[in-house]
Amino acid sequence: MDPKTLRTTFGRFATGVTVITCRSSDGEPHGATVTAFMPVSLDPPLITVALTRTSRACTYLDDAPFAVNVLAADQIDVAMNFAGRPSTAPIRWAPGPTAPILAGTAATLSCRPYRTDDGGDHLLFLGEVVSAETTAHPPLLFADSTFVEVGRPAAEAVWAGSFDDPHSGWFDAACDFTPISARPAPHVAGVGPADVRP
């Protein structure tokens, strides 16, 4: 697989922009810009981030607490600062429940270490969320190798009526999680149970 083609294809998937913050080996605040962030589980509350194995942040996150800072639309300079292009403006740090966090973000997830997995040329850091905060700032997005802002909604109620409708809650009490193999065979008129095949 051609790496350039693969990178371009991955870039068609629009993502938010995060800065993963932690403490360095000497105790100083450290951050890395990451778009490979994903919520994983509500119970327990888990997220995962993928960091290049060669990054300094990888050495700091081994069994260490960290925070996921979801950048706001006006924080492109912050994104670039932690991607290796230092900002001329000072970075606004704040204390967090598990690790230093950034001020002015759209949201922040403070995590304690849960597990680290192999991800090829990356390491996958799974974190258990111990604190979640949101603000009114719109988030910054990244697509096709450029920063973009959230536009108008593509639909008014895209989730309405679906099992994942966030307004009624994911998998409410009405959902049936009985394994298919444990369910009774369906009754079909004129056909006996022995004639019904899974």
Residue range 80-87: mean pLDDT, rounded: 90
pLDDT by residue (tens digit) across 93-103? Answer: 999 999 999 99
**Measuring CA to CA, which residue among 118, 142, 120, 122 is closest to residue 19?**
142
Closest CA to 75 of 140, 15, 158: 140
- Mean pLDDT lowest for which of 22-31, 41-50, 62-71, 114-123? 114-123
3-149 maps to CATH 3.30.465.10 = no
Cα distances from 53 to residues 41, 43, 61, 123, 163, in angstroms, run: 24, 28, 11, 6, 37
Tokens representing 7 are 């990178």
Query: Tokens 């004129």, residue?
Result: 190
Rounded Cα–Cα distance for residues 90 and 73 (Å): 18
Q: Is the separation of the CB atoms in 33 and 49 below 8 Å?
A: no
Give pLDDT, residue 125. Answer: 94
Q: How far is CA 77 from the centre of its chain?
A: 21
SS3 of 122, please? Answer: strand
pLDDT at 191 over 50: no
Predicted confidence (pLDDT) at residue 19 exceeds the cutoff of 90: yes
Rounded Cα distance between 28 and 7, Å, is 32
Share of the chain above pLDDT 70, in %: 75
Q: Tell me: the pLDDT tens digits for 32-70? A: 999 889 999 999 999 999 998 888 888 899 899 999 999
Q: Tell me the CA end-to-end span of the chain in Å, nearest whole number.
A: 39
Question: Tens digit of pLDDT for each residue in 134-190?
Answer: 999 999 998 877 888 777 776 665 555 565 655 555 555 666 656 655 555 555 455
The structure's pTM equals: 0.75
- Per-residue confidence (pLDDT) for residue 193, from 0 to 100: 44
Per domain, the residue ranges of the chain are 3-149
pLDDT at site 166: 58
The rounded distance, in Å, linking the Cα atoms of 24 and 197 is 59
